């Protein structure tokens, strides 16, 4: 099943939401018209080594066929690696303690 992918679109200053409610509504309406109703604002520290806060604007989209296939291949490889590590550990423990 394909997942929704969160895609960064813009950084918005916290000061864009200072002022009257009319000014804030105008800014939100502008973002709504530009990015759509499903866009998400995330407040926090979004830049490395920065102590300032801002809003990061994200939109959601379906992952592409290539992303989906890559994710499944990565999951299969991870599972295979984990099974191989478990197999090696099992053999080591059998050699150390024997089988009962």
Encode pLDDT of 7-29 as tens digits.
999 999 999 999 999 999 999 99
Encode pLDDT of 64-93 as tens digits.
999 999 999 999 999 999 999 999 999 999
Which residue matches tokens 């009962």? 100
pTM comes to 0.64
């Amino acid at each position: 099943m394909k997942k929704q992918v969160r895609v960064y679109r813009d950084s918005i200053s916290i000061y864009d939401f200072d002022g009257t409610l009319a000014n804030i509504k105008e800014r939100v309406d502008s973002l709504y018209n530009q990015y759509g109703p499903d866009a998400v604002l995330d407040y926090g520290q979004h830049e490395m080594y920065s102590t300032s806060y801002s809003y990061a604007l994200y939109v959601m989209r379906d992952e592409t066929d290539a992303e989906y296939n890559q994710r499944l291949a990565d999951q299969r490889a991870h599972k295979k690696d984990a099974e191989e590590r478990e197999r090696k550990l099992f053999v080591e423990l059998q050699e150390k303690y024997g089988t009962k």
